[in-house]
Amino acid sequence: MASDVPSPSPAPSSHPLAPAPYFVRRQTAETGDTNTLVLAPMDGGPVPPALPGQFNMLYVFGVGEAAISLSGDPTDSTQVVHTVRNAGRITAALAQLPPGKAVGVRGPYGRGWPVDAAAGRDVVLMAGGLGLPPLRPVLYHFLSHRAQYGRIEVVYGARTPKDLVYYDQIQEWRQRSDLRFQVTVDAADRSWYGDVGLVTARIPDVRFEPGNTIAFLCGPEIMMKYAARDLEARGIPRSSIWISMERNMKCAVGICGHCQFGPEFVCRDGPVFRYDVVRDWLAAREI
Amino acid sequence: MTAASPAAGDRFLLDRRDFSAFLTSIRTAGYRIVGPTVRDGAIVYGDIQAESDLPIGWTERQDAGRYRLERRSDQALFGYVVGPHSWKKYLFPSHERLWTATRDGPTFAVISEPSDPTPLAFLGVRACELAALKITDKVFMGGIPDPSYSARRTRVLRVAVQCGQAGGTCFCVSMGTGPGVTSDYDLSLTEILTEGRHEFLVAVGTEAGGSVLRSVPLRPPTDEADRTVTAIVAHTASSMGRSMDPTGLRDLLLSNPDHPRWERVAKRCLSCTNCTMACPTCFCHTTEEVPSLDAEKTERWRRWDSCFNLEFTKLHATPVRASSSSRYRQWLTHKLGSWHDQFGTSGCVGCGRCITWCPVAIDITEEVAALRVPPPAPTPGGGH
C-alpha cells in the first residue's frame, strides 16, 4: 500500500480509565475468604508511586473492576500488594487467579494517611477486620522511619482468631520493643490465649500522650465511630483522628457519583478523611 | 451579505423564509444538526435534516406528572419549552463504549473507543440548558477531562433560543439561569412572531457562531425588533409555572438529614429514576463489562445510573442507602446542596423536567418549601 494514502488518525491507545496489564506474582491465603495478591507490571517497569492509604482499581479481564486498598510496602516500586476478601463476583475472580495470570491495574487513587502530620507524635493505629490491610503501608512507613515518631500503638480486632490476616507478620511485630501491637477477637474458643472483646475495649489500655497523638482508624463504620468517640474521650482532638471510608466505586476519579458521602467523593477526597470533617455524616443514617 | 464573518456581539434579523438557508449554512459548515422534533407524543431531541423536522406549530402543556402536546394557533418554530430529553444525551450518551480489550497471549491490550469526529450543532438550546452544559462541563472536564465527553463538547455549536413562553414547571428565573440568553452561546435566536411578521433576532456569541452565518441572508436589527425581544423575555420571565427560593439552599439541605419531610416524600417516591434520567445535569453512571462469548475480547461500557437505584450504593452485598427516603434525600441534597461544595454551583437549573416527568408528581419546588419549615421540636410529653 502506498505510503501517501491518508489513514484515519489512530485511536489513542490509552484511556484514563483503562487498566494497565499486570500479572499475579503470588497469591497466598490469609483466611478462609481472604487472599493477598502480589502483582507486578507485565512490561517489567516500575509501579507508579503510591502513598500509604491509597487504592487501586483491580480488573479481571472480562469480569470487571473493584476498588482495593494498597496493602504492601509503599517503597517497593517493583510490585503492588493487595489483600482482598472474596465478597463478590470480581473479588471471587481475583481470588482464583494463579501466578502468571493477567490482572488489570489502574491507580493509585485518593488521599492517603497524613504520615507527615504524624512526625514527632505518638501514633495510634486501630484496625477492625479487613481494616488492617489499608493500614499496613503506614505501619511499614513508620517502622522504616522509626526515629521520627513517638510511641506506636496498634490495636487490631477480628471476629475470630481464624479471621486474623498477616498472622505470621503480626507475631514478628509483637516481638518488637519499639511497637506495641495488641490483638483482640470478638469471639474465640479455648485455643485462643489472647484478648477477647471489641477493639474499643482495648482503648483504655492504649498508651499515648493525648495532646501529641495522631490516630488512624480503619474498619467497619460502626467500629470507627465508637473508636473515634472513645479516643476523643481520652483527649485526642477530633482533628487528630483520621479514618478511611469505603463506598461503592466505579470510576475512582469523581465522575460516576457512586461513592458520595455527604459532599465528599470518597474516591477523590478520601478514602482517608479527617474525622472532624466527616463526623456528622458518619453519625447520620444511610448517608 | 459581505464576505467578512459576523463577529461576536453582532446582531441581525433573519426572516422566517430564510430559516432553511440558515440550517443549510450550518450543515455546510460541517455540523450535524440536532434539535427538537416531535416523536412519541413529546418534543425530543433528534437529527434535524430540514426545518420541517422541527415541531412547527406545536406547543406543550406541562404540570407535575403531566405532559401533553398541543397545537398552537400559529406556526412558531420554537413555541414550546423543554421535553424529556436534554443535550447530555449527545455529550454523555446513556450507553457508551469506553474501550475494548483483547487477549494477547498472557496479557491483554486495551484500545480506547475512537470518538466520532462529526461536530454537532445543538439547535434550540434554552438558557437553562446552556447553564446545564456549563455544569456538566465542570463535572466531566473540571478534573481529568473525560475523553469522550471532551471530544464531543469541544466541537459543539450552541445555537440558543430565548424562550418566548414559560412552561408549567419552569423556574429558571428562581435559579438565575434564564429565560434570557446572556452568555455561553455561539448564536442566540429570538423568535418574533406578530401579525404579519415572522423573523428571528440573531445574536452572535462567538467566532464559530459568526462563521456559520456567512452565506445566510440577514438584515440589520431594528429598534422595534430589540424592543419586541426585550418584551418577549420579560413576558416569559413573568410567567414561570413554578418558583423556588434559592436562598441558603445549600445549608438548608446539608443541615437537615433528619427532617421528617424525607419520610413523607418517600411514601410517594417510586425510586423510578425518571427525575435523574430527565435532569440535564445528573451525571451518575455505572460501568458494565461485556465479554465476547469466546472470552477473547471484552468491552467496557458506561451506562447512566441513578442514586435512586438500590444497587447504586451496594457495598459488601448491602446497599448503604436502603430506604427510599435516604435515596430521595441524597438526590435533593446533592442537587441543591453538596453540588456547591463539589462544583461551585447548584446542580439545578430550574428546567422543571424532574417535576413534569415524575410519575407521581413530586415537585422539587414543593419539597424545598416543605423543607424550609423547621421540623417540630421534640416536646417533652408530646404536648403542644
By CB atoms closer than 10 A (0-12, 13-18, 19+), residue A91 is buried
Non-local (6+) Cβ contacts of B234 within 8 A are none
* Residue B276, all three cell numbers: 435523574
Dist CA B207 CA B5 (whole Å): 8
Dist CA A67 CA B210 (whole Å): 47
Q: A245: nearest CA in chain B?
A: B315
Separation in Å, CA of B303 to nearest CA in chain A: 10
All structural domains of chain A, each given as residue ranges with its CATH number in brackets, are: 20-109 (2.40.30.10), 116-244 (3.40.50.80)
Residue A1: is its pLDDT beyond 70? no
Q: Which of B87, B86, B114 is nearest to B98 (CA)?
A: B114
Separation in Å, CA of A210 to nearest CA in chain B: 31
Predicted local distance difference test score (pLDDT) of residue A11: 42
Predicted local distance difference test score (pLDDT) of residue A13: 53
Helix intervals (H) in chain A = 89-95, 132-144, 167-175, 221-233, 266-269, 275-283
Predicted local distance difference test score (pLDDT) of residue B381: 57
Predicted local distance difference test score (pLDDT) of residue A5: 39
Q: Which of A28, A32, A79, A37 is nearest to A60 (CA)?
A: A37
Separation in Å, CA of A38 to nearest CA in chain B: 16
CB of B357 within 8 A of CB of B84? yes
* Residue A287, all three cell numbers: 448517608
The DSSP code sequence of A93-160 is: HHHTPPTT-EEEEEEEESB---TGGGTTSEEEEEEEGGGHHHHHHHHHHHHHTGGG-S-EEEEEEESS
Residues 47-76 of A with CB under 8 A from B: 61-65
Q: Which of B208, B161, B159, B200 is nearest to B180 (CA)?
A: B161
* Contact criterion met (CB < 8 Å) for A258 and B341: no
Predicted local distance difference test score (pLDDT) of residue A15: 87
Q: B326: nearest CA in chain A?
A: A286
CA atoms within 13 A on the CB side of B54: 19
The dihedrals phi and psi of B112, each to the nearest 5 degrees, come to: -65, 150
- Note the pLDDT tens digit of each residue in A193-241: 999 999 999 999 999 999 999 999 999 999 999 999 999 999 999 999 9
CB of B13 within 8 A of CB of B225? yes
By CB atoms closer than 10 A (0-12, 13-18, 19+), residue A132 is buried
Predicted local distance difference test score (pLDDT) of residue B316: 86
Residue length, chain B?
384
What single letter denotes the amino acid at residue B220? P
A98 touches chain B (CB under 8 A): no
- Note the pLDDT tens digit of each residue in A263-284: 999 999 999 999 999 999 999 9
What single letter denotes the amino acid at residue B362? I
Which regions in chain B score pLDDT beneath 70? 1-4, 378-384
Predicted local distance difference test score (pLDDT) of residue B184: 97
CA atoms within 13 A on the CB side of A46: 7
The residue whose grid cell reads 442537587 is B335
Residue length, chain A?
287
A252 or A11, which is more confident?
Answer: A252
Predicted local distance difference test score (pLDDT) of residue B376: 79
* Contact criterion met (CB < 8 Å) for B298 and A21: no
Predicted local distance difference test score (pLDDT) of residue B84: 98
Residue among A61, A260, A285 minimizing CB distance to B101: A61
The dihedrals phi and psi of A102, each to the nearest 5 degrees, come to: -80, 145
Separation in Å, CA of B120 to nearest CA in chain A: 20
Which of B140, B313, B334, B335 to mutate: most A Cβ within 10 Å? B313
Residue among B107, B110, B341 minimizing CB distance to A18: B110
Residue B158's beta-bridge partner residues?
Answer: B122
Q: B338: nearest CA in chain A?
A: A263
A7 touches chain B (CB under 8 A): no
Predicted local distance difference test score (pLDDT) of residue B4: 65
A151 touches chain B (CB under 8 A): no
Q: What is the arithmetic mean of pLDDT over A10-33? A: 86
Triad B249, B255, B258: Cα angle to 5°? 120
- Note the pLDDT tens digit of each residue in A252-268: 999 999 999 999 999 99
Predicted local distance difference test score (pLDDT) of residue B379: 65
| Dihedral sign, Cα of residue B300, residue B303, residue B306, residue B310 | negative
Predicted local distance difference test score (pLDDT) of residue A4: 42
In chain A, pLDDT over 70 holds for what percent of residues? 95
Q: What is the mean pLDDT of chain A?
A: 94
A222 touches chain B (CB under 8 A): no
Residue among B98, B114, B317 minimizing CB distance to A17: B98
Predicted local distance difference test score (pLDDT) of residue B384: 47
